[in-house]
């Protein structure tokens, strides 16, 4: 891919982050993503992108995380008008949300205790699960303020790029480990619907 196409692709994918028109689904093939079916709303799904550095023209300072739930992408703003882009899984219909949070805690191979709201919906879930490869929070978790939500790894990497969670932001274990190393407690996180 030549530099001009990469710049166009990066700016097109960042359009919702920087306040421009939303990305059109018909651009996915042009941008090199593969079709992965449709979501519950009939929107085309794109295969989650590989982690890469892209251009960033938005107003956020380096170190800020910007999550576009519509795009299913997470951007870590870098210096020099760049961002590190990751594919993410997001909340399924009825579980999407937006706002500004901060990372209040970071944990490696976190334990998981499903919240009471989730247990009411899914009484079959364990009441507590030790950290490890079978744990649904995966290799790392970054807790978002006092909310029930977190950015975390996943033992279901096939869900990245889809809307299937109960509101948490899922990443592959490799990607969440990479992000974990780049951010600290207090990092600003902007979640855009």
In the residue annotation, 128 being an active-site residue is answered as no
In the residue annotation, 182 being an active-site residue is answered as no
150-152 and 35-38 beta bridge pairing: unpaired
178 closest CA partner among 54, 51, 68, 69: 51
Given a contact cutoff of 8 angstroms between Cβ atoms, the answer to whether 23 and 13 are in contact is yes
What are residue 14's phi and psi, to 5 degrees? -90, -5
Catalytic residue among 3, 128, 152, 182: 152
65-68 and 73-78 beta bridge pairing: antiparallel
Q: Can you read off the two tokens belonging to residue 68?
A: 């576009």
Catalytic residue among 3, 128, 168, 182: 168
b/e string for 55-77 if b means 16 or more Cβ within 10 A?
bbebebeeebbbbbbebbbbbbb
Given a contact cutoff of 8 angstroms between Cβ atoms, the answer to whether 180 and 187 are in contact is no
By annotation, the residues acting in catalysis are 152, 168
């Amino acid at each position: 891919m030549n530099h001009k196409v990469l710049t166009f692709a990066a700016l097109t994918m960042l359009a919702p982050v920087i306040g421009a028109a939303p990305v059109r689904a018909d651009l996915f093939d042009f941008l090199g993503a593969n079709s992965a079916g449709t979501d519950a709303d009939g929107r085309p799904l794109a295969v989650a992108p590989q982690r890469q550095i892209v251009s960033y023209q938005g107003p956020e300072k380096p170190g800020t995380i910007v999550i576009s739930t519509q795009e299913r992408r997470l951007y870590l703003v870098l210096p020099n008008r760049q961002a590190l882009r990751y594919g993410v899984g997001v909340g399924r219909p009825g579980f999407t949300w937006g706002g500004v949070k901060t990372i209040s805690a970071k944990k490696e191979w976190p334990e998981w205790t499903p919240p009471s709201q989730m247990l009411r919906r899914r009484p079959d879930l364990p009441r507590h699960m030790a950290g490890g490869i079978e744990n649904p929070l995966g290799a790392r978790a970054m807790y978002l303020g006092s909310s029930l939500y977190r950015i975390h790894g996943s033992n279901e990497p096939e869900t990245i790029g889809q809307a299937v969670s109960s509101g948490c932001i899922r990443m592959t274990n490799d990607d969440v480990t990479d992000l974990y190393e780049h951010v600290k407690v207090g990092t600003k996180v902007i979640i855009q619907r």
